[in-house]
A and B are shown apart, each in its own frame.
Chain A
Amino acid sequence: MSIVFQRPHALIDKPLHYCPGCTHGIIHRLVAEVLDELGIEGTTVGVASVGCTYNSYEYFNCDMVQAAHGRAPAVATGIRRSLPDRTVFTYQGDGDLAAIGTAEIVHAATRGEKITTIFVNNAIYGMTSGQMAPTTLVGQVTTTTPFGRKPELHGYPVRVCELLSTLEGAVYVERVAVNNVQNIRKAKAAIKRAFQVQAAGLGFSIVEVLSICPTNWGMSPDKSLEWLRDNMIPHYPLGNFKNVALPGETPAADGSDK
């Protein structure tokens, strides 16, 4: 009998501490499956950030470094420049990456650092109990926008992929979601490609993953998935923003002329 489904080796066998229904767990699994499939667990260093996943080093089986809030791309830069034959990824939330860490992510991308960023956009600060994030949608109620996000008071939600894809150093930029099986499969393919882009030394790669936070959105996981589909995807369109040919691919086949 052959095993067709099992826990990836790169994901440690212990219960996740995330809230019931939280999609951080799915995203962890996708990253771990990719590390397994590419056979790079032993040559990868991950960088955990500050947010609900601050201790993702408890779950990923590769070497891990915990970074200060927003600084993961700078920490990853230091690691990657020191270990040129290793794979380095950051795992960051939207508060971490798009607020306090804006300078670090923009400049890591500008420099074309050969790192991969997994950017989990749940339109909220999860860990600190549901404050407005830069990605919070207009009208969305959070603990710091109790009457909904109003552009005249709180500004507009930032589209990170669109922003970063203007930078030459960012060579692979894709937005995915984990709200249904089809999208989860696409998310995995994107994450895998992002790591392959890094392995080929082509530059900075980022996958933005639209994710849910049932706890701070104040909805059931089911309702949250619907809310993501009906509200987040219209504002944050899924798809590839920038692509690059991997070794052996012809530019046309991979859509890098997009």
Chain B
Amino acid sequence: MKGNEVIAEAALRAGCRHYFGYPITPQTEVAHYMARKMEEIGGTFVQAESEVAAINMVYGAASAGVRAMTSSSSPGISLKQEGISYAAGAELPIVVIDIVRCGPGLGGILPAQCDYYQMVKGGGHGDYHNIVLAPQGVQEMYELVVDAFNLADKYRNPVVVMGDGYMGQMMEAVEFRDQEKIERPEKPWAACGSEMKRPHNTITSIYIEADVLEAHVRHMYEKYKAIEENEVRVDVQNCEGADVIIAAYGTCARVTKNVIKDAAKLGIKVGLIRPITLWPFPKKAFEQYAKVPKGFLTVEMSMGQMIDDVKLAVNGQNNVYFYGRTGGNVPGQKDILAEVVKIARGEGGDLR
């Protein structure tokens, strides 16, 4: 199945019956799939007038207590940031899919990873975090989309599943579970009509008094601490005794797996740390291997964004090099290998 269709199917299996979107390449198949299925099963599909409207529809649906999602790609995500910030502030469980394309501006429609900053570091205004999940292929996409709904409900927080254009367009076999693990907590806070049986509920992100807003934000940060403690996911491969460790996620991590084999033939042991949660970032994995003899190489389809978090985690204990391509180009296996060889031989590299 195509990655984008898997996203939609996974959301339906997770019990999402409310989808709001606006067309943009390379994620539009999510909407196509949803439009057909929702009409068949009596769910909600709305093609909104803009990404701004779509995210606010998601905000409304989540306020009412249902599982709701939207999907888009980078320029559309820029427009959704307002709504994501509001949802974070109002503590609403929403799921946002970003199939990243290259920028800035209208950029291009080819795959990229240059939305790391806007998704992981905020993007919208205010003190908040999204939980950001980064699959490396179609099977994992399915699993993470299901998990995204569970995590959103568990923590009452926006969850982003971020893939690049390859992952959206890629056809791969995918094995659906018969029964998804769906955790649906009660939502006594939802604005769904009081039936005159309880005091009225209010969903809001505005707190005019300084102390009240500070208390609210501190409460959110307590939640973030719990997320950082409980929800970090990382794929660590070949790092024991490695000469060089590559940090990469998504498509770049897939390419790296072949680099590990090629380098071994040259007598260089390469490890891989693949963050699956970009936030919370798997700091501990980097701390554990911070002393890797030759240092780290961060590989991204951007000019270097995740590398900031790698450097923070490594905390000055080692060199962190960078290799990236942009504009829709993907770092090639040979190019990454060449960087690894230079670093392993002490011949330098792009030290950041």
Contacts and interface: CB of A to CB of B under 8 A. Distances in A.
B59 A67 contact: yes
A254 B206 CA distance: 42
B341 interface: no
Interface string B18-56: 101000000000000000000000001010111011101
B20 to A, nearest CB: 7
Nearest to A66: B204
B230 interface: no
Contacts of B58: 78
A65 B53 contact: no
A83 B44 CA distance: 11
A64 B202 contact: yes
B195 A65 contact: no
Contact of B63 (A61, A62, A65, A104): A65
Contacts of A83: 64, 192-193
Given A74-B57, A75-B60, A57 B202 contact: yes
Contacts of B46: 77, 81, 111
B56 A43 contact: no
Chain A interface residue bracket vs B: 35 or more
B192 A78 contact: no
A71 B83 contact: yes
B200 interface: yes
A78 B64 contact: yes
Contacts of B191: 45, 63-65, 79
Given A63-B200, A71-B83, A54 B60 contact: no
A75 B208 CA distance: 22
B194 A82 contact: no
A79 B60 contact: yes
Interface in A140-184: none
B349 interface: no
Interface in B205-223: 205-206, 208
A76 interface: yes
Contact of A54 (B63, B203, B206): B206
B64 A82 contact: yes
A103 interface: yes
Interface in A12-59: 41-45, 47-48, 54-55, 57
A41 B206 contact: no
Contact of A74 (B18, B56, B68): B56
A236 interface: no
A162 B205 CA distance: 34
B192 A107 contact: no
A78 B56 contact: yes
B77 interface: no
A78 B203 contact: no
Contacts of B62: 78
Interface string A83-104: 1001000000000000000011
- Which among A44, A54, A68 has the greatest number of chain B C-beta atoms within 10 A? A68
B18 A78 contact: yes
A61 B61 contact: no
A195 interface: no
A56 to B, nearest CB: 10
B270 to A, nearest CB: 47
Contacts of B192: 45, 63, 82-83, 86
Contacts of B54: 74
Contact of A81 (B49, B61, B90): B61
A60 interface: yes
A257 to B, nearest CB: 30
B60 A103 contact: no
Contacts of B197: 42
Interface of A: 41-45, 47-48, 54-55, 57, 60-68, 71, 74-83, 86, 103-104, 106-107, 111
11 contacts: A42-B195, A44-B193, A65-B202, A65-B204, A66-B202, A67-B60, A77-B46, A81-B18, A81-B46, A103-B53, A104-B49
| In the A-B complex, the 3 residue pairs with the closest CB atoms | A78-B60, A74-B56, A78-B57
Given A65-B204, A78-B64, 16 more contacts: A45-B64, A45-B191, A54-B206, A57-B202, A57-B204, A63-B202, A64-B201, A64-B202, A68-B59, A71-B83, A74-B56, A75-B60, A75-B63, A77-B53, A82-B65, A103-B49
